[in-house]
Amino acid sequence: MIASIQVLDALKSIGLNLYERRIFVALLAKGVATAAEVSEIAKVPRSRSYDILESLADKGFVMVQPSKPIRYVALAPKEALERTKQTLKKKHDEVVDRIDRLMESEIVSELENLYSGGLDIIQPTELTGTLKGRYIIDRQLRSAFKDAKKYINIITTEQGLNDLYSKHFRVLKKISRSGIKLKIAAPMDDNTVMKAFSEIASIKNLDSPSGRMVVIDGKNMLLALTDDKDVHETQDIAFWTNSPHAVKNMATPLFERVWGS
């Protein structure tokens, strides 16, 4: 093996697939090579090596020499990584710019009309699913909070409350000023966090955690299926549904029981 498992895993973490990783390290060892030569060293099918080398060139890891046959040169690792970083940043900025322009165009109105009309025939089960990873869960919550019209009821843990404060407080503060009612039940040992939430919501200090649940407008519900103390944030799992029936008959009675206890 030309490179260690740790090296190949590191290259995988920045987006290189298996063949790209093999060919890049093979080319580093060889210096300059044709597609046929590097494919033999890397144990990659020759028919794939041309496309992979072009991909590596686009990403900034390889330079192409316009010779016959075409030869490829691996850039120095630090230079390759710096070029790749700049390429990704440029592509990211371009995509963000396209999204901004799309949001200001008439196309969004057409998409919104399609979405609004389609909701009439979508069943609740089609808007139900599991969310894995705290980043994904927080993204769903952020979107749901912004769409709230009447109220948001939250039961959470001490860690969940801290996450709510660090990641969503600004949004919750803004929507509370618009008249949306907030209720939060959680262990509140941190006086700073408790004081901050008491200014925008009705709060209930729980003696012990009762899990994590969010109910919005009597139709949306998020229920954590894992203990945030026992799992890594990437393994945190929650159930999300847009079902008025489930919210009315399960989530709302549960919240009212905890709130009234």
Question: Could you report the per-residue pLDDT of 17-64, keeping only the tens digit for each?
Answer: 999 999 999 988 888 889 999 899 889 998 899 999 999 988 888 888
Q: Above 50 in pLDDT, residue 122? A: no
Distances (CA, A) of 54 to 63, 69, 70, 200, 229: 9, 15, 11, 55, 46
Same domain, 72 and 176: no
Q: How far apart are CA 194 and CA 187, in angstroms?
A: 9
Same domain, 130 and 218: yes
Same domain, 131 and 238: yes
Residue 153 domain-assigned (yes or no): yes
**Which residue range forms the structural domain that includes residue 244?**
126-260
Greatest alpha-carbon span in the chain: 81
pLDDT mean over 84-99: 89
Residue 93 domain-assigned (yes or no): no
Confidence of residue 222 (pLDDT cuts 50, 70, 90): very high
CATH code of the domain containing 43 = 1.10.10.10
pLDDT at residue 1, as a whole number: 46
- End of a domain among 76, 91, 106? 76
Q: How far apart are CA 167 and CA 170, in angstroms?
A: 8
Residue 145 is encoded by which pair of tokens?
A: 């909070």
Same domain, 167 and 244: yes
Domain count within the chain: 2
Residue 98 domain-assigned (yes or no): no
pTM for the whole thing?
Answer: 0.59
